[in-house]
A and B are shown apart, each in its own frame.
Chain A
């Protein structure tokens, strides 16, 4: 029997999917893998130091560890829901902990200059040029190009022969190390300032001509862009181009849960990405997690070398405490934010008798209060 599903295999949260076994229609290999891993998660309900334990004992141990922690951290959120994140920041506030959305985009570029973005439908219906900048959505977000429609000219900036590059109408092949230079040069050209003529100049002029020729364009970018300086340069370029046309960016998050968790952290504390609550109030915490002695890891891989309480549907290696959760979107409902910030309600086609991370975090909070 086929079940309708909102797939959380990547940030696209495709909501037109049905599943038969673990095969998805429309087909998506990444989505099938996501579903398979969660439908067969199985395993012990909980474990302490690798040995099976019952959930209550595991919660007691978690409370004990956190009660004694000097510098607790709550982190992860790769596969978490908005509800999980709300519960995590609530607990972090009580503990005076660090909170980190592990795969959140670097917030610096937005905070410095802002950005221009759009939902998928806006890009699908309007953009005539889509520039994918050193990302391979065919692998990481397999249905992205399909969902953006076939109307636009697809430009791919990448020197690797990726699956996405194979679908490009136009390829630009400079090496990753030259991205910042390339974006800055585009900006120089856009401002009609003299450009140092080098091997990139011709390609860059060609790209800019394409962008100038259309009323709507979009840049798809992600971690491949390599750091906040390049992101800042890209936003600056988009802003300059926006003067005469409508140009937006679409960030590709590496995981499905980060967009919602990052929004929650921002609305509850005022700051995105990483927040330190140790002083009694939120402070931006962009440095490494120095001195962390106990970590609560929510629906994500653990950090090596830290005593970890893992609340996760998938097994987590080397956790001091692991409690298996009902996988969001498979066995538990919850809210998730699509990569373009559209919030969707994940369904639970195969409900399981396991708690959510949000429920566990609340119980840990109650345990600490006793």
Chain B
């Protein structure tokens, strides 16, 4: 039984409306408690900032596409080795670290929960095995459902089994929630290198439209009451003028809970093929009127990245920009995958505009509970760049200095030069990096420090340089165990797998089996993951 008393720290626990109050925090047996005994270990946090552990609502850390990216980037990791120690496994870092390194580095950054945002359900065993080799953090994965031919058929036929099918799929894979990526568009790409022009385009061979897919799956997930609502990567990512598609997608889901991923990549004005501009203000206005929606930003950071996406068409566009490395993998019935290394340059108009639009989404008065921090790791930049991003949000002087280095023409097309003096407070940072993501994920025990919550706590030196502060927490505690002290890993643990679950009518199997037989090359019976070593131990979060 481990007991810890954290004394004298300034508590930032926005979910419980605590904003910098100095008081003790007590932990016992992995939970936050009212009080602990006198024998409890004491952590002196005077002068320090205490927050719940970080929660990353959207990153790409495990599964076939991540390992494909590792293969593609074997030259990127040579200069970033991680040595084996008594405690730690060796590994390599770079933009897409090896699995153990991923767990260690998230933990060193003060993160305790991470969501892999795009897993092909057919590859669930692979995703789960990698997550089992990703220590420290608690982790969940979202399964890709927006281009699933079996679901297309159910949607086309107006089947009453759609909800059951979705719940069946989560049960079959151990996934946490449902992801749509370019709904309908990935199937079109696999058919004919095609793209969606409008949400009302018909997906050849299936007589359904992206709008029907979005509407049907969004409603089904909403109706199931899964802990996390449908997680949407909208159509036309990265294309000038795509804000219209994004707004149309939002309107299609009006009134239903939904999370929109990496909104920055979907906030562009202009015409396809023409110069891009920002439509971030309009999107924020729409969000303000729709409390049922949340987003993560998908900030791009200047420097190297690797675009790693189920939206494989986007990868062919990037491939043709500079003719560099390109990897594509088509997964039957379900999805695609594209990977292209990419560098965002401050002097480049488009890149600077993307950077500026991300900052607009953060700074133009949106509700931090609705607008969460992400770089869509590793698409917009590595998760290791979060501290720098936090500094951009908290430190106006630093931001203006960085603005001065970015392409002028692009920045002039944003609102960033309009005397934008917003500086995030520590509580707002706590909201966008833990409280809001945890709440949105339906993780009631995470993202806050109330009695009964998971004892996931990150303690920072209160430094003026916020990048430095958030890069190296003084202490990281997870599940009540002290894992990190001053940039050193002190203890290793496996971390939990988080799975989502909703009840379903088992008779759905009779509907699915023949459809599987027609389409998959894996037998229906062999599809579900049953191996307890992959599935357990897990914390299952039930629908409500």
Contact surface of A with B, Cβ cutoff 8 Å: 6, 15-16, 82-83, 86, 90, 93-94, 96, 107, 110-122, 124-126, 147, 215, 239, 242-246, 248, 263-264, 266-272, 277, 279-284, 333, 335, 337, 341-345
Contact = CB atoms under 8 A, between A and B. Distances in A.
Contact of B329 (A118, A244, A280): A118
B268 interface: no
A268 B77 CA distance: 13
Residue from A113, A215, A268, A271 whose CB has the most chain B CB atoms within 10 Å:
A268
Contacts of A245: 193
Contacts of B512: none
B384 interface: no
A284 to B, nearest CB: 6
B329 A121 contact: no
Given A343-B123, A344-B522, A269 B92 contact: yes
A83 B125 CA distance: 11
Contacts, number: 179
A118 B190 CA distance: 10
Contacts of A116: 326-329
B51 to A, nearest CB: 30
A269 B83 CA distance: 11
Given A215-B192, A281-B84, A281-B90, A111 B71 contact: yes
Contacts of B529: 345
Given A116-B328, A117-B329, 5 more contacts: A121-B332, A122-B190, A124-B521, A246-B190, A248-B330
Interface stretch (B94-102, B210-218, B484-492): B94-102
B43 interface: no
B4 to A, nearest CB: 29
B123 A270 contact: no
In order of increasing CB-CB distance, the 10 nearest A-B pairs are A121-B332, A270-B92, A281-B81, A343-B125, A118-B330, A114-B327, A116-B328, A270-B98, A280-B83, A121-B521
Contacts of B74: 107, 111, 270-272, 284
Contact of A113 (B73, B77, B133, B325): B325
Contacts of B101: 270
Interface of B: 62, 64, 66-67, 70-75, 77-78, 81-84, 89-92, 94, 96-101, 122-126, 129-130, 133, 190-193, 316, 319-320, 325-333, 339-340, 519-523, 526, 529-531, 533-534
A25 to B, nearest CB: 14
B126 A269 contact: no
A15 B98 contact: no
A242 B74 CA distance: 24
Contacts of B124: 343
B90 A269 contact: yes
20 contacts: A114-B72, A114-B340, A116-B327, A119-B521, A121-B520, A126-B190, A243-B320, A246-B193, A266-B71, A267-B98, A267-B130, A270-B97, A281-B91, A282-B90, A282-B92, A284-B78, A341-B64, A341-B126, A344-B522, A345-B526
B84 A277 contact: yes
Given A114-B327, A147-B521, A267 B70 contact: yes
Contacts of B77: 270-271
Contacts of A272: 70-71, 74
A268 B64 contact: no
B176 to A, nearest CB: 19
Contacts of A112: 325
A276 to B, nearest CB: 11
A115 B327 contact: yes
A362 to B, nearest CB: 12
B83 A270 contact: no
Given A116-B329, A119-B331, A282-B92, A111 B530 contact: no
Contacts of B75: 111
B328 A117 contact: yes
B337 to A, nearest CB: 9
